[in-house]
A and B are shown apart, each in its own frame.
Chain A
Amino acid sequence: DAGVIQSPRHEVTEMGQEVTLRCKPISGHNSLFWYRQTMMRGLELLIYFNNNVPIDDSGMPEDRFSAKMPNASFSTLKIQPSEPRDSAVYFCASSPGVRTIRDGDEQYFGPGTRLTVT
């Protein structure tokens, strides 16, 4: 399996531009997560999907951020307009989605997209 695939790996853009990050989860996984890593806040959840449906987007910083999952094999995270404080590494992760009350569900992370907004 190729694992979780993210693109682009690096993105440099100017303030005010639209940025779209892409993720392909592991085939057969039913849950998809977007995390952001910054020096100040560490790794934190932005949004996650179960069976392509957004479940919790409370981590999305503001209306400039939006995420979609049109099908089981693709998700996007869009920032419009981008600002310098959005500079971070954005990780996508997927899990099989068989979580029960007793058992958790192992997550697998993509390589990340390093975003720099100047």
Chain B
Amino acid sequence: GIQVEQSPPDLILQEGANSTLRCNFSDSVNNLQWFHQNPWGQLINLFYIPSGTKQNGRLSATTVATERYSLLYISSSQTTDSGVYFCAVERIRGANNLFFGTGTRLTVIP
């Protein structure tokens, strides 16, 4: 399969702080998605970003496919941002399924 590594594994932030989450992957991909798993366990799509940069409100993401990494930026964090952030990738030459990283657990404290 493909290895997907996320860092840091845990992150504690003061409300209002900014953060960067990283995802490294070991093979060429044609799909990369960032998810937020909220405290109720739901997987919320944040970005579909196999390459390039996207922004959605306080969140933005950049994927550099040639260097096999992606970054998720969270600005002005809020307590509702708490949860686990997953990066998942789909290999170019392989099955259609997503391979998930182990996640970054973010806790935002007021």
Contacts and interface: CB of A to CB of B under 8 A. Distances in A.
B30 A103 contact: yes
Q: Main SS of chain B's interface residues?
A: strand
Q: Main SS of chain A's interface residues?
A: strand
What band does the interface of chain A fall in when counting residues whose beta carbon is under 8 Å from B? Answer: 20 to 34
B5 interface: no
B50 A103 contact: yes
Interface residues of B, number: 24
Nearest to B44: A109
Interface stretch (B16-24, B52-60, B67-75, B96-104): B96-104
Contact of B97 (A42, A45, A106, A111): A45
Contacts of A102: 30
Given A107-B88, A109-B35, 15 more contacts: A33-B97, A42-B102, A43-B88, A43-B100, A48-B96, A56-B95, A56-B97, A89-B41, A99-B96, A101-B92, A104-B90, A109-B42, A111-B41, A111-B42, A112-B43
Interface of B: 29-33, 35, 41-43, 45, 48, 50, 86, 88, 90, 92-93, 95-98, 100, 102-103
